[in-house]
Amino acid sequence: MCGIVGYVGPRDATPIILNGLKRLEYRGYDSAGVAVVQNGGIELRRDAGKLSNLADLVSQQPISGAPGIGHTRWATHGAPSARNAHPHLGTTGRVVVVHNGIVENYLELKDELAAEGIPFNSDTDTETIVHLVERHQASGLDFTSAAHATFEQVQGASVILLISADEPDKIICARLGNAGGVVIGLGNGENFLASDIPAILEHTRRVIFLESRQMAIVTRDGIQIQTLEGSPVKPEIHSIAFDPVAAEKGEFRHFMQKEIHEQVRALTDTLAGRVDFSAGKIRLPELNLTPEIACRLQKIYITACGTAAYAGMVGKYLIEKIARLPVEVVIGSEFRYSDPIVDENTVVLAISQSGETADTLAAMEEGRKKGALVWSIVNAIGSQAMRIADGAISMQTGPEIGVASTKAFTAPLVDLYMLAILLADLRGTLDEQARRALVADLRLIPHLVGRTLAREPQVVKVARALKDIRDCLYLGRGINMPIAYEGALKLKEISYVHAEGYPAGEMKHGPIALIDEHMPVICIAIQDPWHEKMISQIQQARARNGRVITLATDGDELVEGMSEHVLWVPEAPWLLSPVVTVIPLQLLAYHIATLRGLDVDQPRNLAKSVTVE
Ligand code: AGP
C-alpha cells in the first residue's frame, strides 16, 4: 500500500526513483510523484493516475538532482489527484515528505497547524508531517531533531521519508509501527531506500531492514540508525539472493499470467530440501518445531487475509485430518477483536504473501501478547511477518507482482500439507505407512500442475463463453470449498464480475434462489470424497436452469453429461487436489478479465500489500 523510493548519492535521483517506483507500482497506482534537490531548492513533479503519467510529465518538464524521494500512491485520505499525490512540500518550500501509512491523529494536528495560519495544499493526512517538521525548525531545531520531534507526535503506523534543501546531504527515514516495511540498500558512495527490495535490486543486494520505532539518517557515505527513544542501533546487513529478472514480466503479457505459469517451478522449489522421499519424512527446520512443542500443542489458529485466508482454510482441513490437531481460521482483521482463547499451548500461524499486511501483523502481535507460539508462512524475504515469528516457513515462489495472488496461494497449500505431516509425525498420530504414502504423493504435484496448465486452451474457450456475465457462483465441498471462495475472489478482483463462492451443500438454504438461466454456476466436482454430493448439487442447479460449468476429473462422463462446459483436470490425491483445482479458476479469471480489456495486474481500487487497517 503505497510505494516509496529514496536515493542519496552523486547521480541524478530522478531516473533511479522512477525505475524503483515502477517495481513498486503493485503497491498503489492512483497517483505518483518525485522530488529532488535541484540548484539548492526542491523541485517536484506529481500527477494523477499511473506512473506512466508521471514519467511523461517528467520527460516534458525534466528535473534532476539528489537526494530525491518518490512515491506511488494508494489513496486513504484525499481523492486520487495530482494535488493529493506525494511528495508534499512544506510552506517554506524547503522540506518535502513521502509517506506510507496513516497519520491517525491528523485531524487534531491539522486543526492545531491551521489555527497557527499554516495553509494546507492537499486533503491528505501526510501534509501535516511536513508542516510539523517546519514548525520545529522554526523553533530552532536542526532538520534531524525536527524530524525526530515530528515522529514522536505522529500517531499510527507509518513509513516516512524526508529531505530538506538546507541539508541536501541526507534523507531522514522513520518506521512507526507496521505500515509496510522499509529497506535501506547499501551502495558505494550512494545509498537507497525503498518499501520493498525489487525497487533497489538493480543497484545493490546488501540491505538493512528498518524495524518499527526506528529512524535512519541516510547520507551517501553512511547510515545512522537509532530508536525513537534515542538509543543507537547496530544494523544487521542482509545479502539478498534473488534475481532481479524474477521480478520482470519476460515473454508474458501480464505478471499474473507469468506467475500462474511459474507454479510448476515454485512448487518444485517448495519441495526442494524439505521432503526426504526415501525416508518418507518432512523437514522444516526454520519452524523450530521440536517433538516436545508438537506434543504439547492443543490448538492452532490460522490467521490471514483474502487469498491467504482461503489457503488457511485448506490448511485447517489438512492439519485436522492428518495431524488430528484442532485448527480455527480467523481472518486477520477480526482476530484481535474476537478475544481468541490463546495460551502457551496455542500456535498463531499467519499466512501472508507480502508479510506486511497490517491486519495479519496485528493478529500475530495479539497472539504473541497472549503467550502463543507465533509462526508464519511468508513469501516476501525479510518482511515483518517473517522476522517477528518464532518459526517460519518461507514460500519458495519468488516475487509475486500481480495484485491477484496465484503462486503465493498454491505454495502455502503445499507448505501446510508438509506441516500437517510433520506435526503428525512428531505427535505420533500417523503410522509409518500412511506417512510415507502422504509424502510420496508430494512428488506428483509439480507434474500435475504442469499438466493442468497445459490445458489453458480449454479455459480460454470457457472464458469466451462467459466473458459478458454479470454474476457467477462457485460451488465446492470439503477440502475444495475454499477453492470455490478463491475462484470467486479471483474473478471479482480482476474482472469486476460479481461472484460468490459457496459451500455447495449450503445453497439450498437460500442462495439457490439466485439461480436462473443467466447464472453461471461453476461446480468443483472432481473425484474426491464429495463427488456424489456434488452431483446432487449440480442437478439442483440444472433443475433451476443454471448454466453449469464443472471442474471434473479426466474421463468423468457422468459429470460431462450434466455440464454446459467442462474444465478437465488430471486425477490428483484428494488431499492435494486444491493445488490442481485452483489452476483452471486462476486462468479463467485471467482470461475473462483480458477479454473484457481490463488491467489485470493493477485492478481498480486494489493494492498488493494492504498495510493499513
Ligand atoms: C489476492 O488475490 C488478493 N489481492 C488479496 O486478497 C491478498 O491475498 C490479501 O490482501 C492478503 O495479502 P498477503 O498475502 O500479502 O497478506
Q: Which residues of 176-185 are buried (b: 16+ CB within 10 A; e: fewer)?
A: bbbbbbbbbb
Calculated CA dihedral for residues 186, 188, 192, 197, nearest 10 degrees = -50
Q: Is the minimum distance from the CB of 494 to ligand 1 under 6 angstroms?
A: no
Q: How far apart are CA 481 and CA 515, in angstroms?
A: 19
User: Measured between alpha carbons, how far is residue 290 from residues 214, 314, 321, 394, 425 in Å?
Assistant: 33, 24, 21, 18, 11
Torsional class of 476: left (φ above 0), alpha (ψ -120 to 50), beta (otherwise): beta
CA-wise closest residue to 322 among 347, 294, 358: 294
CB atoms within 10 A of CB 500: 17
pLDDT at res. 376: 97
- Candidates 79, 101, 84, 17; CA nearest to 47 is 84
Which pLDDT score, from 0 to 100, does residue 528 have?
Answer: 95
Radius of gyration of the chain (CA): 25
Would you say the CB of residue 305 lies under 6 angstroms from ligand 1? yes
Distance 540 CA to ligand 1 centre (A): 33
Q: How far is the CA of 262 from the centre of ligand 1 (A)?
A: 18
Q: Is the CB of 405 under 6 A from ligand 1?
A: yes
Angle subtended at Cα 410 by Cα 314 and Cα 321, rounded to the nearest 5 degrees: 25
Pocket of ligand 1 contains residue 360 by CB under 6 Å: yes
Question: What is the structure's pLDDT at 246?
Answer: 65
Q: Which atom of ligand 1 is nearest to the CA of 408?
A: 14
Q: What is the pTM of this model?
A: 0.82
Examine the residue annotation and report whether 2 is marked as an active-site residue of this protein. yes
**Dist. CA 305 → ligand 1 center (Å):** 6
Question: What whole-number distance in Å separates Cα of residue 107 and Cα of residue 155?
Answer: 11
**Backbone phi and psi for residue 304, each to the nearest 5 degrees, phi listed first:** -175, 175
Of 170, 407, 490, 608, which residue is the catalytic one? 608
CB atoms within 10 A of CB 168: 19
**Consecutive sets of 10 residues in the chain, 613 residues long: mean pLDDT of each?**
93 97 86 96 95 95 97 86 94 95 91 94 94 96 97 92 96 86 94 93 93 95 95 91 68 92 95 95 95 96 98 98 97 93 96 93 94 96 88 92 95 98 95 96 96 96 96 97 98 96 92 91 96 94 93 96 96 98 98 95 82 74
pLDDT at 243: 64
Do residues 74 and 28 make contact, with C-beta atoms less than 8 angstroms apart?
Answer: yes
State the Cα–Cα distance between residues 122 and 409, nearest whole angstrom. 38
Clarify whether 173 is annotated catalytic: no
Q: Ligand 1, residues 255, 361, 405: which to mutate, most atoms within 8 A of Cβ? A: 405
At 179 the pLDDT is 65
